[in-house]
């Protein structure tokens, strides 16, 4: 606008270009807007476009002369044209509602060569936008809903996921584990959770955090086995700005920094590469980290809970784990019992897991029959509670029956001899590992050895993957084969999960 004010200072041809531009803009607006009006500095309507005439009947007016020449407030209820003239400030987009309906409007002050307001231009950009703009409004409300959901999810994630009450079980080894965990929650000591895969180490780590004074601060977990070795250092300690080109150019905070003030859960600590063990030890001892590509040392305040399903002391003896780091982590070791050691918790666990499965899937709650418990007790549960959950989920999805019986579980647990859970079997007392009489084989069921071996191999891999929630590294460990061999077998047998 200032440029236009000083248009008189321009050479003649430049001025005429500006005048032409203003003229053609005026024409363009008059033709493309649904309606346009001009008011003078007193707020009187001096002109309306052809298009504007369509609104007159809805405003209760018959002729153009009932509108033009009148004060704009008289003929257009709720207009803000006078305000624009008084302030000299445009209202570029506004919704005007009056007896004629709702309109998307724009109001622009008009100035003379000295810059004084001499009137205003009113544009009806869209009539009844509530219907025309519906797709846009819908998209907007969908985005708003998604934002609200994401906010809720984030708040949910930040809230402690599990408490001691979520750790189901009242067998003596579980009572002891909970007692130790409750005690250590009151301190800032490093905790080392030991136990087979799926025994609830991560759940217990959450519960310790939730019962500690750090509960309102973040709980950050890293599964060391799941992160490629080359990325681990950046994952832990972060990357300084400018250390890399590309996506990481701006720098990135590491998990230690993200857990500042809270708890850092280091799962599968036994898989920590030797090259990073010294740096981790320093972070634990000094509570200091050095992001990749930086010479700056940053202070952090982090409580570490580490977990492993491997025998760390043996790893130390074999030279695969630093002894000093082992002692630093092993301040308060807590050993979680395997499911085989606490079969008396099986019923409570099944009840709670079934509740959770039906709640999440929206399917009805299933009752588990006593003969089914006999089958569940006879199974070795190498994947522990995670495997129990997977089996329950699998069986629940495969049937509509509200009562899960032994027959439902036999398919999922083929290694349990067929007579277990049958009428002849007394349910209840047998623990895994007890000697069970093999069933008499039917000659028709005997298959060529290579086929039978392949089938057994396939099922074992399937079970290991189910037990580890699809974690191939952990599955390979359960099967006591290398990761490369597992990949070979997966290629041979096709997708199993």
Ligand X SMILES: Nc1ncnc2c1ncn2[C@@H]1O[C@H](COP(=O)(O)OP(=O)(O)OP(=O)(O)O)[C@@H](O)[C@H]1O
**Which chain residues interact with ligand X by CB under 6 A?**
167-169, 195, 197-203, 267, 307, 309, 349, 352, 385-386, 389, 474
| Residue with Cβ nearer ligand X (113 or 355) | 355
Which residue, 214 or 389, has its beta carbon nearer to ligand X?
Answer: 389
Sign of the Cα torsion 91, 92, 97, 101 reads positive
Bridge-based pairing of strands 263-267 and 298-299 is unpaired
Nearest approach in angstroms of CB 462 to ligand X is 17
Instruction: Determine the 3-state secondary structure of 486 from DSSP.
Output: helix
Are the C-beta atoms of residues 173 and 337 closer than 8 Å to each other? yes
CB-closest chain residue to ligand X: 200
Enter the tokens of residue 113: 């060569």
Q: Which is nearer to ligand X, 79 or 390 (CB)?
A: 390
Nearer to ligand X by Cβ, of 80 and 349: the residue is: 349
Residue number with CB closer to ligand X (178 or 252): 178
Min separation Cβ 180 and ligand X, Å: 14
124/413 with CB nearer ligand X: 413
Report, in Å, the least distance between residue 381 CB and ligand X: 11
For the record, the structure tokens of 358 come out as: 């039906």
Instruction: List all residues 6 or more positions away from 109 whose beta carbon is below 8 Å from its beta carbon.
Output: 84, 85, 87, 88, 89, 90, 117, 119, 120, 121
CB of 308 to ligand X, least distance (A): 8
Least separation, in Å, of the C-beta of 80 and ligand X? Answer: 59
CA–CA distance, 138 with 135 (Å, rounded to integer): 5
d(CA 292, CA 176): 42
Shortest approach of ligand X to residue 470 CB, angstroms?
11
Structure tokens at 151: 């906010």
Q: Nearest Cα to 167, choosing from 385, 488, 456, 431? A: 385
Q: Which is nearer to ligand X, 255 or 389 (CB)?
A: 389
CB of 471 to ligand X, least distance (A): 7
Of the pair 48, 349, the CB lying nearest ligand X is at 349
Phi-psi sector, 310: left (phi>0), alpha (psi -120 to 50), beta? beta
What's the number of CA atoms in the CB half-sphere (13 Å) around residue 156?
Answer: 6
Alpha-carbon distance of 268 to 225, in angstroms, equals: 6
Closest alpha carbon to 377 in 348, 340, 352 = 340
CB of 457 to ligand X, least distance (A): 22
């Amino acid at each position: 606008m200032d440029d236009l004010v000083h248009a008189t200072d321009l050479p003649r041809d430049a001025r005429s270009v500006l005048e032409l531009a203003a003229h053609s803009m005026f024409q363009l607006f008059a033709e493309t807007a649904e309606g346009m009006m001009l008011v003078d500095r007193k707020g009187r309507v001096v002109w309306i476009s052809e298009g504007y005439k369509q609104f007159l009947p809805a405003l209760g007016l018959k002729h153009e002369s009932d509108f033009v020449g009148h004060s704009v407030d008289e003929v257009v209820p709720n207009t803000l044209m006078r305000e624009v003239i008084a302030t000299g400030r445009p209202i570029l987009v506004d919704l005007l509602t009056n007896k004629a309906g709702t309109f998307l409007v724009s109001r622009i002050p008009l100035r003379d060569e000295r810059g004084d307001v001499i009137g205003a231009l009113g544009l009806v950009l869209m009539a009844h936008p509530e219907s025309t703009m519906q797709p846009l409004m819908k998209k907007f409300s969908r985005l708003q809903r998604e934002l609200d959901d994401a906010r809720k999810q984030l708040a949910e994630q930040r809230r402690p996921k599990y408490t001691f009450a979520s750790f189901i079980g009242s067998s003596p080894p579980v009572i002891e584990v909970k007692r130790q965990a409750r005690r250590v929650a009151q301190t800032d000591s490093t905790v080392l959770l030991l136990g087979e895969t799926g025994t609830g180490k991560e759940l217990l780590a959450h519960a310790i955090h939730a019962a500690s004074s750090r509960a309102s601060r973040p709980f950050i977990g890293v599964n060391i086995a799941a992160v490629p070795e080359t990325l681990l250092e950046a994952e832990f300690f972060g990357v300084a700005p400018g250390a890399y080109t590309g996506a990481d150019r701006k720098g990135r905070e590491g998990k230690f920094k993200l857990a500042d003030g809270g708890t850092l859960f280091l799962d599968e600590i036994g898989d920590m590469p030797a090259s990073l063990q010294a740096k981790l030890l320093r972070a634990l001892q000094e509570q200091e980290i050095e992001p990749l590509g930086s010479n700056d040392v940053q202070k952090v305040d982090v409580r570490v809970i580490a977990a492993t399903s491997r025998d760390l002391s043996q790893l130390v003896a074999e030279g695969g784990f630093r002894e000093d780091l082992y002692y630093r982590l092993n301040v308060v070791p807590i050993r979680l019992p395997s499911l085989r050691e606490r079969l008396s918790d099986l019923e409570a666990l099944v009840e709670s897991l079934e509740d959770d499965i039906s709640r999440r899937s929206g399917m009805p709650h299933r009752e588990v029959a006593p003969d089914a418990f006999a089958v569940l007790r006879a199974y070795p549960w190498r994947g522990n509670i995670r495997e129990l959950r997977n089996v329950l989920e699998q069986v629940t999805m495969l049937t509509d029956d509200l009562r899960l019986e032994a027959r439902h579980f036999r398919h999922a647990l083929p290694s349990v001899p067929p007579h277990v859970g049958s009428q002849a079997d007394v349910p209840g007392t047998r623990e895994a590992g007890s000697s069970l009489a093999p069933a008499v084989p039917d000659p028709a069921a005997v298959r060529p050895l290579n086929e039978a071996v392949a089938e057994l191999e396939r099922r074992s891999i399937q079970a290991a993957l189910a037990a580890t929630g699809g974690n191939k590294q952990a599955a390979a460990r359960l099967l006591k084969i290398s990761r490369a061999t597992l990949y070979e077998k997966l290629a041979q047998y096709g997708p199993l999960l």
